[in-house]
Amino acid sequence: MQTIAKRPESLTDLQFTYCPGCLHGVAHRLIAEAVDELGLKNQMTGVAPVGCSVFAYKFFDFDMAQAAHGRAPAVATGMKRARPDMNVFTYQGDGDLAAIGTAEIVHAANRGEHISVFFVNNAIYGMTGGQMAPTTLKNMKTTTSPYGRDVDDIGSPIRVCELLNTLDAPYYIERVSLLSPADIIKAKKAVLKALTYNKEGRGFTFIEFVSTCPTNWGVDPVKALVWAKENMIPVFPINNFRDKGNEGVAQ
């Protein structure tokens, strides 16, 4: 007999409105499940900026705030400092966090702000029509790079986890994948760890989700998963870059 997974209490009963094959819904569920398991629903606040991530406030059943494009870490910093009793996270895409929001994410991480950041990397701007993002791959075609990303002109894709890992303050940094059921199970563990550290007041935690955008990539959802595995993972390898909670612990 087939069983249907129960909807997490931290999700509203609204049906996801993301494009077919979009993995934002998967990321939402992982975060909501972790919030429920940690009993944080009544002490949790999320911040979502501009982009597809802005719809998060419709689907999470706890307090959410909307920030200007790229400014979610700054808003989350203010919220956490004003209400240190609350647990605060941001939910951001690559066009937001790694472009207009570069300064905010770098300096929030460098200060070791006690927030969690969930970063969805699908190598493209999703909401606004498929423009090139800072994470767009070499030679990848977008609406603003119709002949492919020219790294000699535009530069190479920005690897945000690796960038933040050069800083001293972050407590936990990990890149995970949403491209298969096995990957999603591993991603859930990373999300749970990030929010556990958040609950315990350990410091800045950062989770990057390697994801897809079938609509703007111009492929069907199944082909998008294959394309991401073959092309994105070599550029954005799955890795636990930093976990101060495991320092000195035998592995």
The domain containing residue 110 runs over which residues?
A: 24-244
pLDDT for the residue numbered 29: 97
In a domain, residue 65? The reply is: yes
pLDDT for the residue numbered 248: 54
In a domain, residue 46? The reply is: yes
Burial class (CB in 10 A: 0-12, 13-18, 19+), 231: middle
CATH number for position 150? 3.40.50.970
* pLDDT at residue 3 is higher than 70: no
- Across-strand partners of 65? 47
Tally: H helices and E strands in the chain: 11, 7
SS3 of residue 33 by DSSP:
helix
- Across-strand partners of 121? 210
**Could you tell me the two tokens for 214?**
């079938």
Half-sphere exposure of 93 (CA within 13 A, CB side): 28
The DSSP secondary-structure symbol of 244 reads G
In a domain, residue 137? The reply is: yes
List the single range of 64-73, 160-169, 194-203, 241-250 with lowest mean pLDDT. Answer: 241-250
In a domain, residue 249? The reply is: no
The residue type at 98: A
Averaged pLDDT for residues 3-23: 89
Furthest CA-CA distance within the chain: 56
The sign of the torsion formed by the CA atoms of 84, 90, 96, 99 equals positive
CA gap 31, 13 in Å, rounded: 16
pLDDT tens for residues 123-180? 988 887 778 899 999 999 988 899 999 999 999 999 999 999 999 999 999 999 999 9
In a domain, residue 18? The reply is: no
pLDDT tens for residues 205-218? 999 999 999 999 99
* pLDDT at residue 194 is higher than 70: yes
* pLDDT at residue 68 is higher than 60: yes
Q: Tell whether pTM > 0.85.
A: yes
- Chain-wide mean pLDDT for the chain? 94
pLDDT for the residue numbered 27: 97
pLDDT band per the 50, 70, 90 thresholds, residue 52: confident
Averaged pLDDT for residues 199-208: 97
pLDDT band per the 50, 70, 90 thresholds, residue 2: low
Query: Rounded to 5 degrees, what are φ and ψ at 130?
Result: 85, 35
Q: Could you tell me which residue, 36 or 4, shows the higher pLDDT?
A: 36
Instruction: Report the number of distinct structural domains present in the chain.
Output: 1
In a domain, residue 15? The reply is: no
pLDDT for the residue numbered 28: 97
Q: Which of 5, 6, 4, 8 is nearest to 191 (CA)?
A: 8
